[in-house]
Amino acid sequence: MENVILTVHLILALGLVVVVLLQRSEGGGLGMGGGGGGVMTGRQAATALGKLTWAFAIAFIATSITLTILAAREAATSSVIDTIGVEGGVEGGATPAAPALNDLLPPPVGGAPAPRAD
């Protein structure tokens, strides 16, 4: 279900970008341009593209909200700890031992091993 809505969301995003780029701006933009002699005049085409832009925008926002609700619902039912399958965050409920200081230090430069502080 989520994948279908995501696919529709991506198609709407691409469609919205294309419709916005086709609209005539004040400077001509990427619109069809040219003279208006035809069945549709420039004003009617702008109105149709404007309505199509609004339709794409409303559908895009609707799919955005739907995807947000689905993600929130899925996040509320599971936890990172549940995916690991460990109770209390650490296996057996014991706290992990801190690493020794020599385990955190870089190896010595001279080549001789560092003395262990056990």
pLDDT digits (tens, 9 = 90+) for 16-58: 999 999 887 665 555 555 555 545 555 565 678 889 999 999 9
5 with 67: CB under 8 angstroms?
yes
pLDDT at 68: 93
Contacts of residue 49, Cβ cutoff 8 Å, sequence gap at least 6: 19, 22, 23
Percent of the chain, pLDDT > 90?
Answer: 31
Nearest Cα neighbor of 42 from 51, 32, 52 is: 32
Phi-psi region of 71 (alpha: psi -120 to 50; beta: other; left: phi over 0): alpha
Burial class (CB within 10 angstroms; exposed 0-12, middle 13-18, buried 19+) of 12 = buried
Q: Is the pLDDT of residue 89 over 70?
A: no
pTM over 0.75: no
